[in-house]
Each structure stands twice: as structure tokens, then as C-alpha cells.
Amino acid sequence: MRALVRVISACQLFICAQVHAQSDDLLTRIAAQLDKHAVVRAEFAQSKQISGVKRPLQTSGQLIFARQYGVLWQIDKPYKVSYILSEEKIVEITADGGRKERLARDLPGLAQVGRVFRAMLGANTSALREHFDIEAKGEAGNWSLTLNPRQAQMAQFIEQIDIGGGAFVVAIRIQERGGDATQIKFRNSNGADTLSESERQLFGGSGKQ
Amino acid sequence: MKGFWQTWQPRHGVVIWALLAAVLVIASCWRYSAGLPLQTNLLALLPSTERNPVAENAVNTLASTAGDRVIFLVGHTDFEQAAAAARKFAQFLAQDKAFSQVTAEVPAVNLRALTGLYASHRYTLLSSEDRQLLQSGGADMPARLQRKLYAPFQFGLTLPLAQDPFGLADQWLASLPLRSFKLEPDSGLLVRHTDSQHWVLVTAQLSGSAYDGRIQNEASQAITKAEAEFAGQNVSLLRTGTLFYAHAARAQGEREANWIGAGSLLGMLLLLYRVFRSVRPLVLGLLSVAFGIGTALLGVVCMHGEIHLITLVFGASLIGEAVDYSVQYFAAHMGAGEDWEPMAGLRRIAAGLCVALLTSLLGYAVLLFAPFPALHQIALFAMFGLTSAWLTVFLLLPACLRQPSRRNPDEAVATPQRWLHTWQEVMTPKRSILLCGVLLLLSIPGWLRLSGDDDIRQLITRPPELNEQESRIRELTGFANSSQFFVSEGTTPEALLQAEEALGTRLETARTRGDITGYQAVSAFVPSARRQAENYALLLQQLFSPPQKLRRWFDEAGLEDTVATDQANAFKLAKDQQLTVAEWLQAPLSTPFRYLWIGETAQGYAAIVMPQGVRDATTLSRLAEGLPGITYVDKAGSVSALFREYRKWGAIWLGGALVLVFAVLRLRYGWRDATLVFVPTLLSFAVTLAIFGWIGRPLTLFNLMGMMLLLGIGVNYSVFLREGGVNAAATLAGVGLSAGTTLLSFGLLAFSSMPALAGFGMTLLTGIAIAVLLSPLGYSNRSAT
């Protein structure tokens, strides 16, 4: 009897190890696949459920993810406003062109929020792993990641994050501690090697090389 | 006087001296049984500079809290390795009893608790931007609501929509000066990621003062050992803290005191032997110096309770001056040849020794009035030391030098005799006057080029390697230098906060100009009750009346009806629920900022306003002008100002002292001879000043202090020579010897790494050289006697 238990445990261990190896391997492949493009342009549709609000809040617009520069998050509906997230700062650009900059290091946690958001959009697994335990499923053409916070600080706000995709990230779902949830879907994603001149100017020129 | 010289026997003196020496030895053994109380704290050197005692206190408190902390950055190209090394390093240090607390791990900031305090007071708090916006009536509140709803993610500290639909509290939280540095929490550590390295912060609290020699040794050993733990792992370690500077200063000071002392002593012995060719003067000279230095040390330690490092280094150089009195006696002994009679010899030089001691004491006594504790100690040390050495000549030497000198006096003084003859031949009265004139003429351009320097850095020399590490840590962490700040005061906390807010308005302007990057103040976390009441009134007017307005906005945005009702109710309840300093101090949020609150004082309450990223300190001092309850504190600046003041005051005093010393000389020698005796000293002043001008070295307060001593020492040589009379050549040998030992001591001091002491030494070196070269002036041209 005892011997049998031992055999089963050994098998379990073996299977678990296999799953982990597979998961790590998949993560590497996902990362390599997404890493191919220096720039990704996509359309997004966001649906946010907040307590105190009757209907889910729908937002849509475009997104430019530039590995060197950061993320340009451009909301077209229900009103026009853009956000630029880079390593150093977060810029809000209103419809009338007004810019409001905030340095990432001026606020505790701001740098991390920005970093996690960028890592999510780019499925940057190594950056995400600093803050989350990642479980990967599926295959390179159709995968999903489940992220659970590793640190108490992050866990105060985030319960779980799910990211799904293939060649590009297709969907992100963020479940917050307080019950609020955000679902973001991406369409018409396409990769490019460089930003256009006008886009680069929006990012403020100098990128991290 | 006659009676004294007849009844006094040399053996009386020896008994008294032996008794005094025994007392000195016993008292010293008892007093230093726990080690020499050596002080290395720079602050202990500095006078109190602030007119406002609360400000002076604030300076000291800040310095001591910062002083007992040691900061490390542990770096590696790989973050995991840096983190592991930092944890291990902290663990290792924590085991040592030199540290009371070592911190690497930081508990996760409970952001909910952080926002909790402000959530309950959200209707009386507004960021200054929002306040202005609401005051102007131009705030588009529905748009604010929309932004809160649709932003893709929440930035930093925020309250839930239902609590803060317009993001006003979010803006207030964002305006808090929480972030004064560039570190961020990561994996439970405080970390700075750069492109090439990952740095982890480790801080340690010393279990005692950073100036305590025992703590210094223990802590340094522990750090070296801990560092060895990760040798060869490519881990970099940066460190800073008062501990390291104080430890380096102590080591440096002790090293200097040792080699200046040893150099002076050795030089003195060599010179003594060269002239007297006998061991006896060597032993007696050593005894007089030892007795002098021993008394001086004990005197200072008993009167001050401790001795400062700078006094010790200076004391080492006093050896050369203390031996002068004995040298005069030895010279008289040698000069008398076969006719030597101990008491008669003493009697002949007594007057000269007295005048010499008196002028020296006068010179040092002036330093007693300088407001620097360090100079006070130096003066005491010198006065005790010189008086004891002088006393040794009268008490001990006659009994120990009974036998006539075996050295042929003519042979011994042949060289000085020749020198004196040549001097007399060349320096006819006319030529003397001409020489003085030429020297003065040459000096004039030098004087015109003189400048002053009152920088506090004269007192401090910091090892460049430590300085470099400190500036790297500053750059990596953003920790600010806190030598300039404001102290705010008020009879009540409310009055204090209102005073700070008036200053805050000016600081905001300074920030937009780029003079500072920000500031930390209690009022930035807790606005005054008056301002909180204004904020509440503003919100009432702009948001909550009429009540339908809020309901309509919320309805249009799709919010549930309860949100508006809850808002209105919560707002009503918040009236008079203002945040107080007491409440803030109790909240965990305030922990890193509690140092800003000084608390109750004799006059009321006091706090610190700390500007950050100061670009130009001169613009800061103007900010406090005309603001009641606000004092600008700049310790470094205040000390520099004090240096300047006393440098000017000292120059005037020096003029007065010159007159005084001349008056003493005039009493003994009459107008003409007093002038002749005095001219070499006067010229040494003139030429020394000119040399400083010529070589372009700015004058400091310490050069001036050196001149005061020069006055005391320089005039001695002319006095000795003038008193020498028939034995002029022997006296000149003595004077040459004295000057040699003194020059050696102060010459060595000129190479001290402490700029203040080097200034001292430099002045005395040049001044004494000139004074001694010109000293025969008084002798050769003296009135016929």
C-alpha cells in the first residue's frame, strides 16, 4: 500500500514537472512570437464594470504599442482623450491638445502600474513574472495566461488577470479586489518595425534604446 | 625680589616640581582610565549660530538623527542576485551589536490604510490646483466625472468612484509630497533599477553615536566582514553616513597628531644635541615638554570634559614652542662656560622668560574670546602647556644643571657669533631702515591682492572616495542634502500651519521657477483648519448646492441614484470633521515624515519645512523674509557668515593687540628700543600677509588666529636677544634653536590635511621665519647700556 502511494506521488511529481516545463516553454514561445514586432497597432474595445454605475462603461479607440517608447492609448468614444505610458512618465492628452504630464516616480506605485499595463499589452512575460505567478495554457497559435499577484501590494488591488491571444494579444480581463472588472478586446492588430514620424513626436521623441 | 633670589634654593624647586609632576601623573591615570575622551564631531567645533534657539535645536536634532544612520546600496547586474546579497548583508550586520537595527525588507505599503486616513476627511482637503480651479468657477465637473469613469486604469493612489466621483481626493493624494526619492518597492525591498545595475537599499541604525570610537571600530569591522561574505560575486557596495566620515577623520587626526608629534620631538632632540652636544639638555627638554603637554591635556579634559581631535593635532605642534624656555636656560648655561652658577643664570634670563611668556599668553588668551569651542580648547591647551613648561625652567632646571658646561662656549657659539657679526656689519642702522623700507614696498602689491575666504569647508576635509560614494548614493536614491531648511513656529498648531501655508505659496512659486523641485511640510499633509473650512465651503458652493445639480450629473453619467444620496449625506457629516496634526501623527502614513514635526517648544509649537532639489540656496533665504513665524536655517551659511564676521573682528583686534604688546615692551625698554625689538614682528606680519597675497591664497579666520599667535611667539626672539646682553651669541644660538624647533612643529602643521590647522601652520611658518631672521635688529641697534 505504502509502495503504491509512493509510486503515485512520484508520478504526480513527474506530471507536475512536465506541466511546468511545458508552461515555461510556452511562455518563451509566446514571448518570442510577440517580440517579433517593434511596433503593434490595434483597435480596442473596453468594457468596465464599476460598482455604483448602472451599465458597463464602453470605451473604444486605438492603441499603439511601441517596444522602445511605451504605449499610446487613444480613446475615441465616448469622448476623445489619449494617454501615453512610458517608463518615466504618464501623459494625458485631451481633445483640445492639452498635455498633462506626471512623472512615474512622483507617486508611489505609479511606475509599477504603468509597467504592468505595458507588460500586459505586450504579453512581456519576464516583466510580468516580477509581479505575478503565471500559468500558461494552450499552444503558440492560441494561448491563455492566468496571472495571480505575487506581492501583497499588488494583491491589495488585483485579484486575477487573464490574457489571451495568438500572434497578438486578443483579450485582457482584469478582475479587481473590490469587485470591479475590466474587459479589453483587441481587433485588427498588425505589426510594424517603426513608428511614423508623427507618432514618434507624440511619444516625445527620445525612446529607450 | 632680592629676598626671593637669596633664600630660594634650587632643591626647593625640585621638590615642588616633583610633587606637581606626581599629582599630574596620578590625576592623568585616574582621568584616562577609561581611555582619552577624544571628540571627533565636527558640530562640537562649531559655535551656535542661530538667534532662534528652536532653529539651533532643530539643526542639532536633524544632525543627530541623520548621524546615527548608515546607508548602503547593494548592487548587481542581476536583480535576484542583488536582492539576495542585500538580504544576506543586512542579516549579517544585524547580528553585530554595533547596530541596533538593520533594514532591507520593507513591509508592503498598505495603500488602503494610506488612503483610509484621507478618505474620511476628503471633503475638507483639496489640492492647490483644484482649489484654484473651483475658486475660479471654471471647473468642468461632468468631464472630471467622465475621466474617472473611463480612464483605462487607475494611476497611483485613488479612492473608489462612489467615494470620490470627481477625482478630487485622487488629486489631493497625488499632490502629497510622498515621493522624495527615486527608490521603488520591489519584492519587499527598496530598489533602484538602472540600465546597468540593480541597487537595493539597506539602512542601519547605530546602537550609539557615530562619533564614538568604540562604535566606529565595531561597525567598520562588521561591515568589512559582511562585505567579505560576497567577495568575488561582482556585488558592488556603496556606503554613506556620518560614521564613515567620523571614522576617517579620527584615523587621520590620530595619524597626524602622531607624526607631527614624533617629527617635532625628533627634530627638537636632534637640534638640541647639535647645539649642546650633551644628553642632559635633551632629557631636561623632554621633561619640560612632557610636563607641559601633560598638564595641558589634563587641563583641557578637566575643563571641557573631552578633547577635540583638532586640539590634539595642534597640541602636537606645541612641543616646539614649549621647549623654548628650557632652550634659553641651556643657552645661558653654555654661554657662561666655567663661570656657571645655576641661580645666577636663571636670574639673568628670568626677565626675558617672563616677558616671553606674557606675550605668548596674551596671544593665546585672545583665542579664549573667539566663539569657537575648538579655538577655546586650543587656547587653553597652549596656555596650560606653556605656563607649565615655563615653570619647569624655574623649578627643575637650576637643580639639574649645576655643573658648568663642558663644551667650550666659544666653539659652541662660533657659528652664531659669526652670523651675528656678519649681520651687524651688513646691517648698519641706515641699511636696516632701507631693508625695512624695501620689504614694505615689496609687500604693498601683495596686500592689494589679498582676499578672504570664509567657507565652512576649511574645517572639513572629506576623503574623496567617501565623497564620491555619497554623491552616487544621492544620485541613485534622490536623498536630499538637508543643510538648508525652514523652521515654522506658532503659538498653536493652527497658527503654525497658517504660517507654513504662507511660506508654501512662495515655495510653489519657487518650484514653478525651478529653484526647487518640491518641499515637504506638515501643512502639505494637514492643511490649516482655516484652509480646510474654506475647502469645505468651496465644495458646498460648487458641487453640493443646489442638491439637484449633483443628482443630474450622476444621472447623465449613468451612476446609480444611491451614489448621489450617499455623497450628500457623507458631505453633511464631514462638516467640522477636519483633519488635525495629532490625527495625522498617529496614522502610519506619517511615519517617514514625523521628523518634520518638532512639537511643543517653550514658545508654542515648531515644525520643519524641508525644500527639496534646491538649485540655488541664496534664493531660499529670501523666501522667509517678512513671514511671521518662519525662520530660514542654513547652518553652513551661518557658520561661514560667522567666520567672516570674526575674521573682520579679529583683524581689528590684532591691531589692538599689537599696540598692547608694544606697550609692554615700551615699559621695559623705552620708546626707541621697544620699537627696535618690535619691528621684526611687525615686519613678519607685513611680509606674511604680502606672501599670501602674492601666492593668491585667500586669508581665512585661521590665518588670522595664526597671526595672533605669531604676535606672541615672534616677539619672543627679539626679547631673548635683547635680554641676552653679553652672551648675545649664546642667546642667538638659543633663539636659533627655539626658532628651529618651532618652525619644525608649525612647518609640519602646515601639511596637515585639516585646512584650518594647515592655515595656522602656514602663517606661523612664514611669520616666524621672518621674525627670527630680523630678530638681531633690536640687539644690534640697541641703545648703549
Asked whether the beta carbons of residue B146 and residue A78 sit closer than 8 angstroms, the reply is yes
State the CB neighbour count (10 A cutoff) for residue B387: 19
pLDDT tens readout for residues A154-191: 777 788 888 888 888 888 888 888 788 888 898 888 88
For the ranges B91-105, B487-501, B666-680, the maximum mean pLDDT occurs at B487-501
Which residues in chain A have Cβ-Cβ distances shorter than 8 Å to B109? 108, 153
Return the pLDDT at B111: 63
Mean pLDDT of chain B, nearest integer:
82
Return the pLDDT at B540: 87
Residue of B688 and B737 predicted with greater confidence: B688
> Which residue in chain B has the smallest CA separation from A91?
B155
Sign of torsion, CA A188 A192 A196 A201? Answer: positive
Distance CA A105, CA A110 (A): 7
Q: Select from B152, B155, B557 the Cβ nearest to the Cβ of A46.
A: B152
Asked whether the beta carbons of residue A46 and residue B110 sit closer than 8 angstroms, the reply is no
pLDDT tens readout for residues B52-99: 777 777 777 777 777 788 889 999 988 888 988 998 898 888 888 888
Distance CA B496, CA B504 (A): 12
pLDDT tens readout for residues B714-768: 887 888 777 766 566 777 777 788 888 888 888 888 888 877 778 878 888 888 8
Return the pLDDT at B112: 65
Are residues B260 and B745 in contact, defined by beta-carbon separation less than 8 angstroms? yes
SS3 B56: helix
Q: Which of A17-31, A44-58, A87-101, B357-371 has the lowest mean pLDDT?
A: A17-31
Average of per-residue pLDDT across A69-82: 85
Sole residue written with cell 628651529: B740
Q: How confident is the model at residue B20 (pLDDT cuts 50, 70, 90)?
A: very high
Tell me the backbone φ, ψ of residue B706, rounded to 5 degrees.
Answer: -60, -40
Average of per-residue pLDDT across B85-114: 79
How far is CA B323 from its chain centroid? 31
Return the pLDDT at B779: 66
DSSP conformation letters of B494-528:
HHHHHHHHHHHHHHHHHHHHTS-SEEE-HHHHS--
Helices (H), B232-323: 242-276, 279-304, 309-322
* A54 has a chain B CB within 8 A of its CB: yes
Q: Judge whether residue B389 has pLDDT over 90.
A: yes
Mean pLDDT of chain A, nearest integer:
75
Return the pLDDT at A16: 35
Q: Judge whether residue B569 has pLDDT over 70.
A: yes
Distance CA B497, CA B533 (A): 14
- Could you tell me which residues come within 8 angstroms of residue B279 by beta carbon, excluding any fewer than 6 positions away? B273
Return the pLDDT at A106: 61
Residue among B106, B154, B172, B184 with most chain A CBs within 10 A, to mutate = B184
Which residues in chain A have Cβ-Cβ distances shorter than 8 Å to B174? 102, 106-107
Sole residue written with cell 580648547: B377
- Could you tell me which residues come within 8 angstroms of residue B607 by beta carbon, excluding any fewer than 6 positions away? B487, B488, B489, B496, B500, B521, B522, B596, B597, B598
Q: Judge whether residue B4 has pLDDT over 50.
A: yes
Are residues A160 and A175 in contact, defined by beta-carbon separation less than 8 angstroms? yes
Average of per-residue pLDDT across B639-652: 79
Q: Judge whether residue B110 has pLDDT over 70.
A: no
Q: Judge whether residue A3 has pLDDT over 70.
A: no
Q: Which three cell numbers stand for residue A147?
A: 496571472
Residue among A48, A50, A184 with most chain B CBs within 10 A, to mutate = A50
**Alpha-carbon distance B143 to nearest alpha carbon in chain A (angstroms):** 10
> Which residue in chain A has the smallest CA separation from B112?
A156
Asked whether the beta carbons of residue A54 and residue B559 sit closer than 8 angstroms, the reply is yes
For the ranges A38-47, B399-408, B414-423, the maximum mean pLDDT occurs at A38-47
Strands A57-66 and B307-308: unpaired
Q: Judge whether residue A9 has pLDDT over 60.
A: no
Are residues B384 and B293 in contact, defined by beta-carbon separation less than 8 angstroms? no
- Could you tell me which residues come within 8 angstroms of residue B326 by beta carbon, excluding any fewer than 6 positions away? B281, B284, B285, B288, B289, B389, B392, B393, B397
Q: How many helices (H) and strands (E) does chain A have?
A: 5, 11
SS3 B482: coil
pLDDT tens readout for residues A115-157: 777 777 776 777 777 778 888 888 878 888 888 888 776 777 7
> Which residue in chain A has the smallest CA separation from B170?
A107
Return the pLDDT at A19: 40
Q: Judge whether residue B550 has pLDDT over 60.
A: yes
* A79 has a chain B CB within 8 A of its CB: yes
Average of per-residue pLDDT across A101-123: 69
Return the pLDDT at B785: 43
pLDDT tens readout for residues B123-175: 888 888 888 888 888 778 888 888 888 776 665 667 878 888 888 888 888 78
Asked whether the beta carbons of residue A90 and residue B155 sit closer than 8 angstroms, the reply is yes
Q: ipTM exceeding 0.95?
A: no
Distance CA B336, CA B412 (A): 11
Helix (H) or strand (E) run with residue A188 in it: strand A181-192
Residue among A46, A54, A72, A208 with most chain B CBs within 10 A, to mutate = A54
Are residues B317 and B749 in contact, defined by beta-carbon separation less than 8 angstroms? yes
- Could you tell me which residues come within 8 angstroms of residue B254 by beta carbon, excluding any fewer than 6 positions away? B309, B312
Q: Judge whether residue B601 has pLDDT over 80.
A: yes
SS3 B248: helix
Are residues A203 and A69 in contact, defined by beta-carbon separation less than 8 angstroms? yes
Task: Give CA separation, B378 vs A170, B374, B386, B715, B746, in Å.
Answer: 79, 6, 12, 20, 14
Distance CA B700, CA B454 (A): 6
